[in-house]
């Protein structure tokens, strides 16, 4: 009888404990589409990468950072324009993506800023860019480098 009560109690605790654990969205829930970047002139100026990040899962995902061997300081930046028409870029911080929603990293808005390039971004090449999420998940995408005047992934 004592064994049965302990087993039942343990099962109940594990069940309740399992219900209180937050569900984590994994990399299989994140789809990256239309990734692209522009060729750079040398390595003195930062590069940028653009894409759409879609959450196909049932739980929110939060993008917390980037990594790539191409740049020592990859960050998500946001371009903002004030009332006088002056634009500036600042780090965007964490980006939450709700279930079924997407975030566009595009010129003039949120974008992946690739600072301290380790080599020039050459048209026709690709580079790996890894998106880091708050649950420890990672998604790596191969980003094609288009011409210096490219305006989108179809150029």
pLDDT tens digits, residue range 26-39?
Answer: 568 999 999 999 99
Q: Report how far residue 124's alpha carbon sits from residue 82's, in angstroms, rounded to the nearest whole number.
A: 36
The mean pLDDT value for 84-104 works out to 94
21 band by pLDDT with thresholds 50, 70 and 90: very low
DSSP 46-109: -EEEEEEEEE-SSS-EEEEEEEBTTEEEEEEEEEEE-TTS-EEEEE---EEE-TT-EEEE-TTS
Domains of the chain, CATH where assigned? 2-146 (2.60.40.1890)
SS3 (DSSP) at 141? strand
> Parallel, antiparallel, or unpaired for β 95-97 and 47-55?
unpaired
Question: Would you give the DSSP letter of residue 10?
Answer: H
Question: Is the pTM for the entire model greater than 0.85?
Answer: no
- The contacts of residue 125 (CB under 8 Å, 6+ apart) are 144, 145
Whether the per-residue pLDDT at 54 is higher than 90: the answer is: yes
Instruction: Give residue 76's pLDDT.
Output: 96
DSSP 111-139: EEEEEEESS---TT-EEEEEEEETTS-EE
CB 43 within 8 A of CB 119: yes
CB 130 within 8 A of CB 140: yes
């Amino acid at each position: 009888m004592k064994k049965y009560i302990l087993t039942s109690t343990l099962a109940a605790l594990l069940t309740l404990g399992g219900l209180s654990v937050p569900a984590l969205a994994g990399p299989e829930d994140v789809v990256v589409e239309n990734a692209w970047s522009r060729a750079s002139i040398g390595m003195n100026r930062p590069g940028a990468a653009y894409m759409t990040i879609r959450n196909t899962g049932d739980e929110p995902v939060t993008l917390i950072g980037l990594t790539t061997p191409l740049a020592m300081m990859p960050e998500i930046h946001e371009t903002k324009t004030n009332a006088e028409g002056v634009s500036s870029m600042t780090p965007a911080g964490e980006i939450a993506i709700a279930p079924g929603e997407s975030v566009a990293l595009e010129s003039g808005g949120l974008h992946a800023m690739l600072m301290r390039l380790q080599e020039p971004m050459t048209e026709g090449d690709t580079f790996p860019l890894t998106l880091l999420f708050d649950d420890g998940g990672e998604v790596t995408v191969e980003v094609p480098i288009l011409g210096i005047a490219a305006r989108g992934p179809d150029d």
